Amino acid sequence: MNHKAPIIFNTIGLGWAGPLILKMGTEAENQKYIKGILTADDIWCQGFSEPDNGSDLGNAQTRAVREGDEYVLNGSKIWTTHGTYAKYMILLARTNPEAKNKYAGLSFFLSPMHAPGITTSPIRKITGEYGFTQTFFDEARIPAECLMGQEGQGWMIAMQTLQFERSVDGGQATKYNFKSITSADLIETCRTIQRDGKPLLEDPVVQDQLVQFIMEERNFLLNLKRSELNALCTDYPMSLMLSGKLEATELFRRMRQYAVSLQGAKGGLYIHDDEALNGGIWQHAYFNIFSATIGGGTSQVQNNIIAEHALQRRAKDDFGKRTQLLQGYIAHRTG
């Protein structure tokens, strides 16, 4: 169980910056970036969230002002995963504060991290470790060619990025499943724990909960398969695409919390204790799962999105309309 690394290195590059560039980038951008992403020579980070604007990403205020063949950046991004060692950042910044609405003033950049005026300051995570940063832009200058697409297209490109990140277009869904600790690991754990002098796995109350988790996990896997078959997704064509991340991460949160609760007095130990069960992996994983129920858009906001886009825009008997709906969804989120 311990070999299952919770984070793939260069997740952002491989998971969504890369796919984004492949899908929407120019030939020159593809040439410049893709190889480094694949070899993981170039680590990428994501500069979307700001201290005051997280869920309300469309309100991002970091400024980018064109001066000659450069953009001048001012402002701050936060919760920048890999911020300390990334070479590039996908950056959402405001080029036009006077645009007709908040979304229309945003632009998207493939920005270097190593430029004068860009600094990072590490933030300690709930787990006790360091891992993300606040990133400051103080009169930082980057080449104008870092702009992706046109000025004003930032929101549309950011939404496309989030589709990859939140698994609508495939990216992350499998990751939640195969790289995470799963119900199989939980069952193994229950085999080793003694309660009232017997293995926990024999406790019928525990069995009931484990079976429940297995079922939910299977729902998720079967949904993933069914979502590939448009004809079987007609009632709520957007629903499976939008719910994967929410369902998987919330299931894992509950499962990990449960795993800690099962450990008896050892549940009070943490990763550096020799006696901690499985090295404290469940405790650590429970804390870490909030990176996924918060990061990439919180569960609460994802529920709002599903209500708005899957429930309310229910297609009656449309086959194969999902791509169209997805475009519509991106356009709608564009304001």
Partner 1 sequence: MILESARNFCKDTSPIEQVRELLESSQGYEDGVWKQLVGLGWTGIAIPERFGGSELGIEAVVPIVESMGRSLSATPFISCTLAAQVLLRAASPEQQQRWLPKIVEGQVATLALLDNEDWGANSTSHQLSDALVLTGEKWFVDDAVTAELFIILTQYQGSPRFVVVERNQLADTAIQAHALIDETKRSAKVDFTGVSVTADAMLSAKNTDKILGECKLMGALLVAAEAVGTTASCLNLIIEYLNTRKQFGKLIGSYQALKHPSVEILNKMEGARSQIYHAATLFEDSQGVIDRDVEVACRMAKASANDTLLYAGDRAVQFHGGMGFTYECNAQLYIRRAQWSQQQFGDSAHHRKRLAPLLLG
> Which residues on neighbouring strands pair with residue 90, listed in sequence order?
46, 110
Q: Does residue 9 come out as left (phi exceeding 0), alpha (psi in the -120 to 50 range) or beta?
A: beta
Phi, psi of 61 (to 5 degrees): -115, -5
CA distance 145 to 59: 24
Which stretch in 42-50, 58-66, 207-215, 237-245 sits in contact with ligand FAD by CB under 6 A? Answer: 42-50
Determine which residue in the list 79, 164, 176, 287 makes contact with ligand FAD, applying CB under 6 A: 79
**Binding at 128: pick from ligand FAD, partner 1, none (beta carbon under 5-8 Å per type):** partner 1
Q: Tell me if 304 contacts ligand FAD by CB under 6 A.
A: yes
Q: Tell me if 210 contacts ligand FAD by CB under 6 A.
A: no
Q: Tell me if 80 contacts ligand FAD by CB under 6 A.
A: yes
Which residues, 6 or more positions from 7, have their beta carbon under 8 angstroms from its beta carbon? none
Q: Where along the sequence are the contacts to partner 1 (CB under 8 A)?
A: 49, 53-56, 59, 78-79, 123-128, 193-197, 205-206, 253, 257, 260-273, 275-277, 280, 283, 286-287, 290-291, 293-295, 298-300, 303-304
| 3-state secondary structure at position 304 | helix
CA distance 26 to 14: 18
Q: What is the nearest approach in angstroms of partner 1 to the Cβ of residue 259?
A: 11
> Which residues on neighbouring strands pair with residue 76, listed in sequence order?
136
CA distance 263 to 127: 19
In the complex with ligand FAD, which residue's Cβ is closer, 213 or 329? 329
Determine which residue in the list 10, 11, 49, 172 makes contact with ligand FAD, applying CB under 6 A: 49
Which residues bind to ligand FAD, rule: CB under 6 A?
45-49, 54-55, 79-81, 132, 291, 294-298, 300-301, 304
